[in-house]
Amino acid sequence: MSDVAPLETLYQAALGPEIPLPPELASHYGSLSFPPHAGRPYVFANFVSTLDGVVALNTPGHLGGGDISGFNAQDKMVMALLRSVADAIVVGAGTLRVEPRHIWTASHIKTPFSSDYEQLRASLGKSGPPLNVIVTASGAISLHLRLFQSGEVPVLIVTTAKGAEYLRRQTMPPSVQIAVAPAQNNNTISARAIIAAISALRPHAMILVEGGPILMGNFFEERLLNELFLTLAPQIAGRDETTERPGFVSGIQLAPERAVWGTLVSIKRGASHLFLRYTF
Protein backbone atom coordinates (compact mmCIF):
# COMPACT_ATOMS: atom_id res chain seq x y z
CA MET A 1 0.00 0.00 0.00
CA SER A 2 1.36 3.43 -0.95
CA ASP A 3 2.16 6.05 1.67
CA VAL A 4 1.49 8.79 -0.92
CA ALA A 5 -1.79 10.53 -0.07
CA PRO A 6 -4.43 10.47 -2.83
CA LEU A 7 -5.13 13.71 -4.66
CA GLU A 8 -8.53 15.31 -4.12
CA THR A 9 -10.27 16.22 -7.38
CA LEU A 10 -11.95 19.61 -7.02
CA TYR A 11 -12.91 20.13 -10.66
CA GLN A 12 -12.67 17.93 -13.74
CA ALA A 13 -13.86 18.55 -17.30
CA ALA A 14 -14.19 15.66 -19.75
CA LEU A 15 -11.60 15.86 -22.54
CA GLY A 16 -11.93 12.51 -24.28
CA PRO A 17 -11.83 8.76 -23.66
CA GLU A 18 -10.59 7.96 -20.18
CA ILE A 19 -7.24 6.19 -19.93
CA PRO A 20 -7.66 2.98 -17.89
CA LEU A 21 -5.19 3.56 -15.08
CA PRO A 22 -4.15 0.63 -12.87
CA PRO A 23 -6.39 0.55 -9.76
CA GLU A 24 -3.99 1.94 -7.16
CA LEU A 25 -2.80 4.69 -9.47
CA ALA A 26 -6.40 5.57 -10.33
CA SER A 27 -7.29 5.76 -6.64
CA HIS A 28 -4.42 8.19 -6.03
CA TYR A 29 -4.64 10.39 -9.12
CA GLY A 30 -8.25 10.12 -10.26
CA SER A 31 -9.32 10.04 -13.89
CA LEU A 32 -7.04 10.96 -16.78
CA SER A 33 -8.16 11.56 -20.35
CA PHE A 34 -6.83 13.23 -23.48
CA PRO A 35 -8.67 14.44 -26.58
CA PRO A 36 -8.40 12.22 -29.69
CA HIS A 37 -5.54 13.36 -31.93
CA ALA A 38 -5.52 10.89 -34.80
CA GLY A 39 -3.08 11.80 -37.54
CA ARG A 40 -1.20 14.51 -35.64
CA PRO A 41 1.07 14.90 -32.60
CA TYR A 42 -0.33 16.03 -29.26
CA VAL A 43 1.91 18.30 -27.17
CA PHE A 44 1.57 18.75 -23.41
CA ALA A 45 3.89 20.22 -20.80
CA ASN A 46 4.52 19.72 -17.11
CA PHE A 47 5.99 22.28 -14.71
CA VAL A 48 6.09 23.02 -11.01
CA SER A 49 6.10 26.66 -9.89
CA THR A 50 6.13 28.60 -6.64
CA LEU A 51 3.24 30.93 -5.83
CA ASP A 52 5.32 33.86 -7.07
CA GLY A 53 6.05 32.19 -10.40
CA VAL A 54 9.58 30.83 -9.89
CA VAL A 55 10.44 27.50 -11.55
CA ALA A 56 14.20 27.45 -10.88
CA LEU A 57 16.07 28.87 -7.89
CA ASN A 58 19.40 28.92 -9.77
CA THR A 59 21.26 28.65 -6.47
CA PRO A 60 24.22 26.23 -6.23
CA GLY A 61 23.05 23.00 -4.67
CA HIS A 62 19.40 23.93 -5.32
CA LEU A 63 19.05 23.79 -9.09
CA GLY A 64 16.37 21.15 -9.65
CA GLY A 65 12.59 21.16 -9.54
CA GLY A 66 12.56 19.31 -6.22
CA ASP A 67 13.46 22.51 -4.40
CA ILE A 68 10.45 24.18 -6.02
CA SER A 69 7.94 21.45 -5.13
CA GLY A 70 9.49 20.75 -1.72
CA PHE A 71 10.29 17.25 -3.06
CA ASN A 72 6.57 16.61 -2.97
CA ALA A 73 5.63 12.93 -3.43
CA GLN A 74 2.37 13.73 -5.23
CA ASP A 75 4.18 15.96 -7.73
CA LYS A 76 6.57 13.07 -8.42
CA MET A 77 3.57 10.78 -8.93
CA VAL A 78 2.04 13.13 -11.50
CA MET A 79 5.37 13.67 -13.27
CA ALA A 80 5.88 9.92 -13.63
CA LEU A 81 2.28 9.40 -14.75
CA LEU A 82 2.66 11.91 -17.57
CA ARG A 83 5.95 10.32 -18.63
CA SER A 84 4.15 6.98 -18.74
CA VAL A 85 1.72 8.15 -21.42
CA ALA A 86 4.33 10.02 -23.48
CA ASP A 87 5.94 8.73 -26.67
CA ALA A 88 8.63 11.43 -26.51
CA ILE A 89 9.88 13.74 -23.74
CA VAL A 90 11.54 17.03 -24.70
CA VAL A 91 14.02 18.99 -22.59
CA GLY A 92 16.50 21.72 -23.35
CA ALA A 93 20.24 21.31 -22.91
CA GLY A 94 20.13 23.58 -19.84
CA THR A 95 17.82 21.12 -18.08
CA LEU A 96 20.23 18.29 -18.93
CA ARG A 97 23.14 20.27 -17.45
CA VAL A 98 21.21 20.74 -14.19
CA GLU A 99 20.42 17.00 -14.01
CA PRO A 100 23.32 15.31 -15.82
CA ARG A 101 22.54 11.85 -14.39
CA HIS A 102 18.85 11.93 -15.23
CA ILE A 103 16.97 9.66 -17.62
CA TRP A 104 13.54 10.94 -18.69
CA THR A 105 11.34 7.94 -17.90
CA ALA A 106 8.72 7.22 -15.25
CA SER A 107 10.92 4.57 -13.66
CA HIS A 108 13.71 7.08 -13.04
CA ILE A 109 11.40 8.94 -10.61
CA LYS A 110 11.31 7.09 -7.32
CA THR A 111 7.65 6.53 -6.44
CA PRO A 112 5.71 3.57 -4.96
CA PHE A 113 3.93 3.09 -8.32
CA SER A 114 6.75 1.75 -10.52
CA SER A 115 4.92 -1.44 -11.52
CA ASP A 116 1.73 0.55 -12.17
CA TYR A 117 3.53 2.83 -14.61
CA GLU A 118 4.95 -0.18 -16.45
CA GLN A 119 1.51 -1.79 -16.55
CA LEU A 120 -0.05 1.44 -17.85
CA ARG A 121 2.54 1.83 -20.56
CA ALA A 122 2.06 -1.76 -21.69
CA SER A 123 -1.73 -1.35 -21.76
CA LEU A 124 -1.31 1.68 -24.05
CA GLY A 125 0.76 -0.38 -26.46
CA LYS A 126 3.99 1.48 -25.73
CA SER A 127 6.51 -1.33 -25.84
CA GLY A 128 9.65 0.63 -25.02
CA PRO A 129 10.70 3.74 -23.10
CA PRO A 130 9.84 7.20 -24.42
CA LEU A 131 12.19 8.86 -26.88
CA ASN A 132 14.32 11.35 -24.90
CA VAL A 133 14.71 14.51 -26.98
CA ILE A 134 17.46 17.00 -26.13
CA VAL A 135 17.29 20.41 -27.80
CA THR A 136 20.56 22.32 -28.17
CA ALA A 137 21.29 25.02 -30.74
CA SER A 138 25.01 25.03 -29.95
CA GLY A 139 25.52 21.28 -29.60
CA ALA A 140 27.62 22.00 -26.51
CA ILE A 141 26.75 18.87 -24.55
CA SER A 142 28.88 15.90 -23.57
CA LEU A 143 27.96 12.54 -25.08
CA HIS A 144 29.70 10.88 -22.11
CA LEU A 145 26.66 11.50 -19.91
CA ARG A 146 24.63 8.54 -18.71
CA LEU A 147 21.63 9.45 -20.92
CA PHE A 148 23.71 8.87 -24.04
CA GLN A 149 26.05 6.10 -22.90
CA SER A 150 23.73 3.74 -21.00
CA GLY A 151 21.49 2.75 -23.88
CA GLU A 152 18.54 2.77 -21.45
CA VAL A 153 16.46 4.96 -23.77
CA PRO A 154 16.57 6.03 -27.40
CA VAL A 155 17.81 9.63 -27.66
CA LEU A 156 17.26 12.25 -30.34
CA ILE A 157 19.36 15.42 -30.25
CA VAL A 158 17.75 18.27 -32.17
CA THR A 159 20.39 20.83 -33.06
CA THR A 160 21.59 23.21 -35.75
CA ALA A 161 24.10 22.42 -38.50
CA LYS A 162 26.82 24.08 -36.43
CA GLY A 163 25.73 22.11 -33.34
CA ALA A 164 25.74 18.84 -35.28
CA GLU A 165 29.29 19.54 -36.44
CA TYR A 166 30.35 20.07 -32.81
CA LEU A 167 28.62 16.87 -31.64
CA ARG A 168 30.10 14.71 -34.38
CA ARG A 169 33.58 15.44 -33.08
CA GLN A 170 32.60 13.08 -30.27
CA THR A 171 31.95 9.35 -30.58
CA MET A 172 28.25 8.86 -31.27
CA PRO A 173 26.67 6.13 -29.09
CA PRO A 174 24.41 3.70 -31.01
CA SER A 175 21.24 4.76 -29.13
CA VAL A 176 21.65 8.42 -30.16
CA GLN A 177 20.46 10.13 -33.35
CA ILE A 178 20.91 13.73 -34.48
CA ALA A 179 18.30 15.81 -36.31
CA VAL A 180 19.45 19.09 -37.86
CA ALA A 181 17.10 22.07 -37.75
CA PRO A 182 17.59 25.71 -38.77
CA ALA A 183 18.52 28.24 -36.09
CA GLN A 184 16.11 31.12 -35.51
CA ASN A 185 17.24 34.74 -35.26
CA ASN A 186 17.57 34.43 -31.46
CA ASN A 187 19.72 31.30 -31.90
CA THR A 188 17.02 28.92 -30.71
CA ILE A 189 15.28 26.08 -32.53
CA SER A 190 11.61 26.47 -33.37
CA ALA A 191 9.01 24.28 -31.73
CA ARG A 192 7.73 23.36 -35.19
CA ALA A 193 11.16 22.01 -36.17
CA ILE A 194 11.36 20.00 -32.93
CA ILE A 195 7.95 18.42 -33.54
CA ALA A 196 8.89 17.62 -37.14
CA ALA A 197 12.09 15.89 -36.01
CA ILE A 198 10.18 13.80 -33.46
CA SER A 199 7.42 12.95 -35.95
CA ALA A 200 9.98 11.51 -38.36
CA LEU A 201 10.73 8.85 -35.72
CA ARG A 202 7.45 8.70 -33.74
CA PRO A 203 4.50 9.71 -35.95
CA HIS A 204 1.39 11.10 -34.20
CA ALA A 205 3.25 11.07 -30.89
CA MET A 206 2.16 12.16 -27.46
CA ILE A 207 4.95 14.69 -26.81
CA LEU A 208 5.69 15.80 -23.24
CA VAL A 209 7.71 19.01 -22.81
CA GLU A 210 9.54 19.40 -19.49
CA GLY A 211 11.44 22.61 -20.26
CA GLY A 212 13.30 24.78 -19.80
CA PRO A 213 11.67 28.20 -19.97
CA ILE A 214 13.17 29.34 -23.31
CA LEU A 215 12.06 26.11 -24.95
CA MET A 216 8.59 26.58 -23.48
CA GLY A 217 8.53 30.12 -24.77
CA ASN A 218 8.94 28.87 -28.33
CA PHE A 219 6.08 26.38 -27.97
CA PHE A 220 3.77 29.09 -26.64
CA GLU A 221 4.88 31.67 -29.23
CA GLU A 222 4.20 29.25 -32.07
CA ARG A 223 0.87 28.14 -30.54
CA LEU A 224 1.95 24.50 -30.60
CA LEU A 225 1.26 23.55 -26.98
CA ASN A 226 -2.04 21.73 -26.54
CA GLU A 227 -2.05 21.77 -22.76
CA LEU A 228 -0.15 22.43 -19.57
CA PHE A 229 -0.04 20.50 -16.29
CA LEU A 230 1.08 22.97 -13.63
CA THR A 231 1.82 22.10 -10.02
CA LEU A 232 1.50 25.17 -7.81
CA ALA A 233 3.69 24.75 -4.73
CA PRO A 234 2.81 26.80 -1.61
CA GLN A 235 6.22 28.50 -1.52
CA ILE A 236 7.32 32.11 -1.97
CA ALA A 237 10.82 32.05 -3.46
CA GLY A 238 11.45 35.73 -4.11
CA ARG A 239 13.74 37.41 -6.64
CA ASP A 240 16.48 40.03 -6.64
CA GLU A 241 19.05 41.36 -9.09
CA THR A 242 21.78 38.84 -8.16
CA THR A 243 20.26 35.64 -9.57
CA GLU A 244 17.88 34.98 -12.45
CA ARG A 245 14.80 33.10 -11.26
CA PRO A 246 12.61 32.55 -14.32
CA GLY A 247 9.00 31.60 -14.71
CA PHE A 248 8.16 28.65 -16.95
CA VAL A 249 8.25 30.93 -20.03
CA SER A 250 11.32 33.01 -20.74
CA GLY A 251 12.95 34.80 -23.67
CA ILE A 252 9.72 35.97 -25.29
CA GLN A 253 7.04 38.56 -24.53
CA LEU A 254 3.51 37.52 -25.43
CA ALA A 255 1.15 39.88 -23.59
CA PRO A 256 -0.53 42.18 -24.27
CA GLU A 257 -0.44 41.92 -28.07
CA ARG A 258 0.02 38.13 -28.34
CA ALA A 259 -1.24 36.89 -24.99
CA VAL A 260 -1.96 33.17 -24.71
CA TRP A 261 -5.07 32.37 -22.70
CA GLY A 262 -5.79 28.89 -21.38
CA THR A 263 -8.95 27.05 -20.37
CA LEU A 264 -8.91 25.41 -16.94
CA VAL A 265 -9.93 21.75 -17.26
CA SER A 266 -8.83 20.20 -13.96
CA ILE A 267 -8.00 21.12 -10.37
CA LYS A 268 -6.61 18.57 -7.96
CA ARG A 269 -5.38 19.22 -4.42
CA GLY A 270 -2.77 17.52 -2.33
CA ALA A 271 -2.70 19.27 1.07
CA SER A 272 -1.54 22.81 0.13
CA HIS A 273 -0.24 21.90 -3.35
CA LEU A 274 -2.56 22.54 -6.29
CA PHE A 275 -2.37 20.47 -9.48
CA LEU A 276 -3.81 22.53 -12.32
CA ARG A 277 -4.42 21.59 -15.93
CA TYR A 278 -5.07 24.00 -18.81
CA THR A 279 -5.81 23.48 -22.50
CA PHE A 280 -4.78 26.01 -25.17
Residue 63 has pLDDT above 90, yes or no: no
pLDDT at 65: 87
Mean pLDDT of 30-52: 95
As a whole number of angstroms, the distance between CA 90 and CA 102 comes to 13
Tell me the per-residue pLDDT of 88-140, one tens digit each, with 9 for 90 and over. 999 999 999 999 999 999 999 989 999 999 999 999 999 899 999 999 999 99
Tell me the per-residue pLDDT of 139-196, one tens digit each, with 9 for 90 and over. 999 999 999 999 999 999 999 999 999 999 999 999 999 999 998 887 899 999 999 9
pLDDT at 142: 96
For 43-52+66-236+261-279, CATH number? 3.40.430.10
CA 189 from centre of chain: 17
Mean pLDDT of 17-43: 94
**Angle, CA 234 vertex, CA 246 and CA 70 arms, to 5°:** 80
pTM tops 0.85, yes or no: yes
Tell me the per-residue pLDDT of 200-245, one tens digit each, with 9 for 90 and over. 999 999 999 998 999 999 999 999 999 999 999 999 999 999 989 9
**Angle, CA 63 vertex, CA 73 and CA 229 arms, to 5°:** 50
